[in-house]
């Protein structure tokens, strides 16, 4: 793996500064995963969990948990239907004031092997000072020299945009070592599937890589509105362009 002489604190500052440049100025928000929702819940282990790990939240009793779902962008106003990684952070609130965490993303793995490589990946997307736009060759050039990053982006591009945070599978960024009561150790990767029967399923509609945004049309008799016709367009891109045109019209 590549090495560097940049001190850790300097490297972290450079990563944060680059993330904030890419997301735009949003004082008071974190540089990534700025838009999200915090939930509370209860983790109930299965009957088999205690045989896998002696961790307290696998012992059998329900454990309270705090969960935050988020978009990966540092822009808190990013559209919900925009492509990109979704994340889930879980904190298990254990007895005695202790806790355990899972940090997971909707794509397997991570785009970089180390902080230096991550900074290089981010900088390949920065706008060129001369044009104000990113160099169209910079990111492909980076990916061509980093097979793992190219594979990650390939996996991301194949993922449909989830209809909601609850319609995704989240893959933990870290591997875990589960130690059973008999001392047997099992290296484990965790994936959390929170999806269930979605509104798309209930409507009998295919997932078209975006949120269900019904189109409402007034049914008129003369000037009076007598009913509302509801349809579900299948072309998300066309609908976004339609919404953008309507928004511009309202601003003028």
Active-site annotation, residues:
33
Cα–Cα distance between 213 and 195 in angstroms, integer? Answer: 19
**Sheet (strand 185-193) strand order:** 36-43, 63-71, 86-93, 99-105, 169-179, 185-193
- 158: helix, strand or coil: helix
Cα–Cα distance between 66 and 45 in angstroms, integer? Answer: 16
Alpha helices in the chain (DSSP H): 8-23, 115-123, 138-144, 147-158, 199-203, 236-251
Residue 117 in tokens = 């490589």
Cα–Cα distance between 169 and 106 in angstroms, integer? Answer: 6
Residue 76 Cα distances to 20, 26, 27, 30, 246, angstroms: 12, 8, 10, 9, 22
- 215: helix, strand or coil: strand
Of 197, 194, 234, nearest to 214 by C-alpha is 234
- 30: helix, strand or coil: coil
């Amino acid at each position: 793996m590549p090495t560097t002489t940049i001190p850790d604190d300097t490297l972290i500052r450079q990563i944060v500064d680059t993330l904030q440049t890419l997301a735009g100025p949003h004082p008071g928000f974190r540089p990534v995963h700025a838009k999200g929702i915090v939930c509370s819940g209860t983790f109930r282990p299965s009957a088999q969990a205690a045989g896998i790990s002696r961790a307290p939240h696998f012992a059998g009793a329900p454990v309270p948990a705090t969960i935050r779902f988020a978009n990966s962008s540092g822009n808190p106003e990013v559209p919900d239907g925009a492509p990109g990684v979704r994340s889930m952070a879980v904190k298990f609130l254990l007895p005695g004031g202790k806790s355990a965490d899972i940090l997971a993303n909707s794509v397997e793995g991570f785009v970089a092997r180390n902080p230096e490589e991550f900074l290089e990946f981010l900088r390949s997307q920065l706008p060129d000072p001369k044009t104000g736009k990113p160099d169209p060759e910079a990111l492909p050039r980076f990916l061509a020299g980093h097979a793992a990053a190219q594979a990650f982006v390939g996996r991301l591009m194949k993922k449909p945009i989830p209809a909601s945070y609850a319609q995704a599978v989240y893959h933990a960024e870290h591997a875990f070592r589960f130690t059973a009561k008999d001392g047997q150790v099992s290296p484990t990767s965790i994936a959390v599937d929170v999806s269930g029967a979605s509104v798309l399923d209930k409507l009998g509609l295919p997932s078209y890589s975006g949120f269900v945004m019904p189109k409402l049309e007034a049914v008129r008799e003369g000037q009076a509105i007598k009913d509302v016709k509801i349809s579900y367009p299948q072309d998300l891109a066309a609908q976004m362009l339609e919404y953008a045109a309507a928004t511009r019209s309202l601003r003028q």
